[in-house]
Amino acid sequence: MTSRFQELSDKESKYFFHTYKRLSLDIVRGEGSELIDRDGKRYLDFFGGLAVNALGYGHPAVLTAIREQSERYLHLSNYYIQEPQIKLAERLIKASGLRKIFFANSGTEAVEGVIKLARKWGKGQGKTTLYALSNSFHGRTMGALTLTDRPKYREGFDPLLPNVGHIGFNDVTALNGAVNENTLGVVLEFIQGEGGIYQVSREFADSLQELRRRYGFLIIADEIQSGVGRTGKFFGFEHYGVQPDIVVIAKAIGGGLPLGAFLGNERVADTFEVGNHGTTFGGNPVACAAGVAVMEQVIDGRLMEQAGRTGEMLLDAFHGMRAELPALIKEVRGRGLMLGLELTRPGQAVVDELQRMGILINCTNTTVLRMLPPYIVTRQECDRVVAALREVFRSLA
């Protein structure tokens, strides 16, 4: 660690509320799938800015879009119609098959907007209760936090929103017992990210659709982590043949700039009226221009399919490792480039050892090694990660 980094780290401890556990890495630059520290050491980044850096670092299409839009204008306010917003809206509406969009700055803000949209839609219909699933993560602002199930995020912040309940993940009986004509909606990650890469079962997804037909509630998909091509399809729910009424995205869509959005179908298209919702920065034109570049690369440039194929190859390799080391690797989960290896012991030692070897991954839920690499990651880079993991696992087993 350089003395410069020690100085930065001391100032961080002195000046910041202690909300983050920072990594002991002094990153000065990113290139492609790699991060480079002050000493010039390169790290292969399978942490991926927690699913933001889908195109890696310094992607020319994103940089060009940002440069060109910054020279036109950085901000106008939402009093103005802005071409980058319109272009991105058009692409997202086409990709989702939904009707209307609202741009926010982040995932949690987009979730807040969705809670408002759903509540307004349910007024007068007697539909009041929103359900989310156990082990879910939907953000940290008060509404999104109420949907988030995990105690470690919620404790100390009571009272949260009323009329929100939680249903056991993949528990079809609990789902049947919970929803009725008073249900406003069910909010879910079809692939849970923070919770440890757990996929909704087909049975649960089918029951959800069937119950929506019966009771008329909204299906609200949180695609903040799984969306924008990460799982090999544009949205995680596409693997289930479900068409949600509302979809939330953020993270990868801004190409590294802060951007979130929610989209809704014809059922909710006319719910909001002028003044019902708004934001100063949401839909920032530079972020939206970057978003258009992301869409072009992910869809037209077929990076989404590449993410799917690369993910299959990695999953195969991880299943092979599990067969070899079942006492250490409990389960392999995921789709596309949203991957989790659940260990039978805490994963931090593996994360630390990989970092020493120049590879960055994340550990969530104590025992789950989570990998969210950029879609541009190459076969050779994946082989390197697989070989390194195998070496570390063997030394631990």
* Residues lying near ligand PLP in the complex (CB under 6 A): 50, 106-108, 111, 137-139, 189, 193-194, 222, 224-225, 250
46, 340 contact by CB (below 8 A): no
DSSP for 24-62 reads S--EEEEEBTEEEETT--EEEESSHHHHT-TT-BS-HHH
DSSP for 98-142 reads -SEEEEESSHHHHHHHHHHHHHHHHTTTT--EEEEETT----SSH
Q: Shortest gap between Cβ of 122 and ligand PLP (angstroms)?
A: 21
Q: Shortest gap between Cβ of 144 and ligand PLP (angstroms)?
A: 6
Of 224 and 388, which CB lies nearer to ligand PLP in the complex structure? 224
What angle (nearest 5°) sits at the alpha carbon of residue 267, between those of residues 263 and 273? 70
Q: Shortest gap between Cβ of 232 and ligand PLP (angstroms)?
A: 17
Q: Shortest gap between Cβ of 390 and ligand PLP (angstroms)?
A: 28
Q: Shortest gap between Cβ of 207 and ligand PLP (angstroms)?
A: 21
227, 54 contact by CB (below 8 A): no
**Cα–Cα dist 187/41, whole Å:** 42
How far lies 3's CA from each of 16, 26, 84, in Å? 20, 11, 43
Of 30 and 139, which CB lies nearer to ligand PLP in the complex structure? 139
- Coil vs helix vs strand at 272: coil
Of 145 and 317, which CB lies nearer to ligand PLP in the complex structure? 145
Q: Shortest gap between Cβ of 35 and ligand PLP (angstroms)?
A: 19
Of 242 and 388, which CB lies nearer to ligand PLP in the complex structure? 242
Of 105 and 388, which CB lies nearer to ligand PLP in the complex structure? 105
The tokens for 284 are 């920032």
Please name the helix (run of DSSP H) or strand (run of DSSP E) that holds residue 295, with its range, or none. Answer: helix 285-295
The tokens for 59 are 């992607």
The residue whose Cβ lies closest to ligand PLP is 107
Task: Name which of 371, 384, 346 is nearest 51 in CA terms.
Answer: 371
Q: Shortest gap between Cβ of 190 and ligand PLP (angstroms)?
A: 10
Of 110 and 268, which CB lies nearer to ligand PLP in the complex structure? 110
Of 149 and 194, which CB lies nearer to ligand PLP in the complex structure? 194
